[in-house]
Structure 1
Amino acid sequence: MNTRLKKLQQSLAKHKIDALLVRVHEGDNQNVLYLSGFGGTTGVLVISKKHAFIVTDARYYTRAVAEAKDYKLVKVIRGKKFTDHINEALALAKLTKTSRIGFEAAHVPVSIAEIWKSELKGKLVATQHVVERFRQYKDAQEVELLRKACRITSKVYNEVAAIMRAGMTENEVAFELDMRLRRYGAISNSFTSIVAAGPNSAIPHHATGDRKLRAGEPVIMDFGGLFPGGYCSDITRTAFVPGKEPSKRIQEIYNIVLKANQAARRGLKPGITYKEFDKIARDYIAENGYGQYFTHGLGHSLGLVAHDPFDYEHDAFEVGTVVTDEPGIYIDGFGGVRIEDDLVVTKDGNERLTNAPYWKF
């Protein structure tokens, strides 16, 4: 049995539920993939303390059997309600109308929850962050998939930085990034690539457009890929368009951001909280006179999605936490710099999964 399923089953009593329903619709919930290996866009996992079922339609019968090996398939038949088949799975799991059936409130629309409460044979209980808490800490296999994704993405940056020239547009640079991600195995982007040149680099999440690059100006490239196995990369580098020496001020800003990134990385270790991690980089930037221009959080959890779940308020980083380290300075009308690496917490500190070089003036 896969260890993720077993851990979840063992946790049901803690949450005072007899089973958990995990729903994916049009690919909106990676918890299904995490728990079962099923990568289809529609289905419901029915997980009790001793049983596990996957309920899906005819488009996915073959994939469900092949991918969700620890789950018994309950086939959705055209003309019947989906809830009829969830009830079939609940009955096979020997659950009754008095059983407490958990469902993921964050992933089930109110309209669907109302239907479930009316039609399912059990007492529906809304749950929060049950599966997500397991996803916060990656195992060795997950880390290896993330490492591979990050190394490929770093390679893509190296290639595109080498061909970037004045006169190219932001969209053309983004195309080069996206094309190379696919060439080296990405299934899709983990988010829409951001390429922000010149004054646009002062906008942290700029909408990539047709502005032409000019010699000497900064170009922020924030991009990543979704790779086979389901895991994402997310990297940001600030490069400079060849043909003119960048201004002294932007060079100063770049070096401050880089040192803030490196300081935070040195401080990342088991037991540190997100707030403490963020403070390292934020204090360094403030001490160097640019505190007001660092306008976002230092980073986020990374995994099956670019912003993977993590309870930053209550949980510390531990071995297996994968987090981004992305300080930035943004000055309206002038420009900005952001440098992002993907890090995994280890027993001795951390490992940098991304290995793209930093800029050398």
Structure 2
Amino acid sequence: MDNTKKLLRALQAEAMLTESCDLRAYLTGFFSSFGYVYTDWEESVFFTDPRYAEGAKEALKGQDTKVEIAKSAASVFDYIKTKKVKKLAVPMERVSVPEAAVYKKYKFKLTDSMPAFVEAMSVKTDEEMQNVAAACEIAEKALDKLYGELKEGDTENEVAARLEYYMRAFGAGDRSFETIAAFGKNSSVPHHAPDDTKLEKGMPVLLDFGCKVGGYCSDITRTCLFGKSADDHFAKIYAHVYDAHMNAAEHIRAGMSGHEADALARGVLEKQGLDKFFTHSLGHGIGINIHEYPTLRIGADCTLKDDMVFSIEPGVYFEGEFGIRIEDSVRLKDGKVESFMRSDKKLIIL
């Protein structure tokens, strides 16, 4: 994957310099903690240090971008200066104060590349879709294995670790984010940090997790019951969240705004008096980063397009009692939602 010239064409810039890890990875398909990608109309160069040089050369073999070892960041700027570049495109929101001082020292006139990155990264290629699909398949495979062995006395930390281990064992390169495992009343905290809470009969179990394949993320949340609860209140609330999820999945269309998409789920919960317990957005873009453009939330004016990948994740949270969230990673194809997930979203009692 080499997106350097694609971004340069979109920018219509004289030259482009990219230092942020995720944006470099998008340009080259190679992940590293240090490097700069310089691109003009004649060449594209990935400057890195000896830790990554061999791997980068192998990964970028046959592509337009060549690999060079940078002695220092200053050596990269010195190289660009020799190119007599007058206006340099950089992702302005990622530029720190010290970095801005360096650009000023070298007297580069800057233009912003970030809008072009946001737009390009929001619409996925077939290769990117394949990576997301593979990451989703692995996440669900890990969940299925975990469900088969959950037992009373397991801790949240143990369950989170097991999920992450299984995803790695099944072929993932990394987790997408810190795994959330929340039992009982802990599930009322949308981003609960797993602790030593032990699993007991009748507890809700909320699991929010994902993994990476080829650097691309998956994101899934499932909420189940570990044994039947004392009453059917949980099941009734779950059914409303499920209906909200399915209404959004069935009716989101290309051309809608993020606000309109969010309203499809929020409106279902509002009819049941539950919208005030839905305290976050309906979804977010998914790609190299776990949170990307577009955003599906109240007031979002972004326009949904075919080949965008995003989450649909309505949830309700009752402080000190329980929470329920149901999330799939999905894409827009032929104007409609197509989920990457195959697992059942209806309430499961283990």
Q: Aligning the two structures, in what range does the TM-score lie when normalised by the shorter sequence?
A: over 0.9
State the match for 2:93 in structure 1: 106
Question: Please, which runs of 5 or more residues in structure 1 have no aligned partner?
Answer: none
Aligned positions of 1:60-99 closer than 5 A: 60-68=52-60, 69-77=63-71, 81-91=72-82, 94-96=83-85, 99=86
Amino acid at match of 2:19: R
Give the superposition deviation at 1:12. Answer: 2.5
Aligned positions of 1:240-279 closer than 5 A: 240-242=225-227, 244-245=228-229, 247-279=231-263
Give the superposition deviation at 1:278. Answer: 0.5
Do the aligned partners of residues 60 and 121 (structure 1) sit closer, same or farther apart at CA in structure 2, a change above 3 Å counting?
A: farther
State the match for 1:18 in structure 2: 14
**Cα deviation digits, residues 123-158 of structure 1 (max 9, x gap):** 233443221210001011111111111011011111
Contact 1:269 1:317 (C-alpha < 8 Å) held by counterparts: yes
**Alignment partner of 1:190 is 2:203:** no
Give the superposition deviation at 1:289. Answer: 1.8
**Cα deviation digits, residues 228-249 of structure 1 (max 9, x gap):** x11111100001112x345311
Do the aligned partners of residues 132 and 112 (structure 1) sit closer, same or farther apart at CA in structure 2, a change above 3 Å counting?
A: same
**Cα deviation digits, residues 299-323 of structure 1 (max 9, x gap):** 1101112112437745311111101
What is the percent sequence identity of the aligned residues?
A: 31
Contact 2:211 2:219 (C-alpha < 8 Å) held by counterparts: yes
State the match for 1:286 in structure 2: 270
State the match for 1:8 in structure 2: 7
SS of equivalent residue, structure 1 residue 30: helix
Partners of 1:63 and 1:216 in 2: CA distance: 50
Partners of 2:162 and 2:295 in 1: CA distance: 35
Amino acid at match of 1:20: M
Do the aligned partners of residues 84 and 330 (structure 1) sit closer, same or farther apart at CA in structure 2, a change above 3 Å counting?
A: same
Partners of 2:58 and 2:301 in 1: CA distance: 37
Aligned positions of 1:1-361 closer than 5 A: 4-13=3-12, 17-24=13-20, 29-68=21-60, 69-77=63-71, 81-91=72-82, 94-96=83-85, 99-118=86-105, 120=106, 122-227=108-213, 229-242=214-227, 244-245=228-229, 247-310=231-294, 313-358=300-345, 359-360=347-348
For these two proteins, the number of residue pairs brought into alignment is 343
Partners of 1:36 and 1:172 in 2: CA distance: 36
Partners of 1:74 and 1:121 in 2: CA distance: 24
Give the superposition deviation at 1:264. Answer: 0.4
Do the aligned partners of residues 50 and 12 (structure 1) sit closer, same or farther apart at CA in structure 2, a change above 3 Å counting?
A: farther
SS of equivalent residue, structure 1 residue 163: coil
**Cα deviation digits, residues 234-277 of structure 1 (max 9, x gap):** 100001112x3453110001111111111100112211111111
Give the superposition deviation at 1:89. Answer: 4.2
TM-score (normalizing by structure 2):
0.92
Give the superposition deviation at 1:71. Answer: 1.3
SS of equivalent residue, structure 1 residue 106: helix
> 4+ runs of 1 displaced by more than 4 Å?
311-314
Give the superposition deviation at 1:65. Answer: 2.1
More moved, 140-149 vs 62-71 = 62-71
**Cα deviation digits, residues 11-52 of structure 1 (max 9, x gap):** 222xxx31111003xxxx311111112212111111123321
Do the aligned partners of residues 253 and 202 (structure 1) sit closer, same or farther apart at CA in structure 2, a change above 3 Å counting?
A: same
Amino acid at match of 2:153: G
Do the aligned partners of residues 360 and 64 (structure 1) sit closer, same or farther apart at CA in structure 2, a change above 3 Å counting?
A: closer
Amino acid at match of 2:59: E
SS of equivalent residue, structure 1 residue 53: strand
Partners of 1:67 and 1:74 in 2: CA distance: 13
Do the aligned partners of residues 6 and 246 (structure 1) sit closer, same or farther apart at CA in structure 2, a change above 3 Å counting?
A: farther
**Cα deviation digits, residues 158-199 of structure 1 (max 9, x gap):** 121222222221112112211111110122211111111111
Contact 1:269 1:346 (C-alpha < 8 Å) held by counterparts: no
Do the aligned partners of residues 300 and 311 (structure 1) sit closer, same or farther apart at CA in structure 2, a change above 3 Å counting?
A: closer
Amino acid at match of 2:14: D
Give the superposition deviation at 1:114. Answer: 0.8
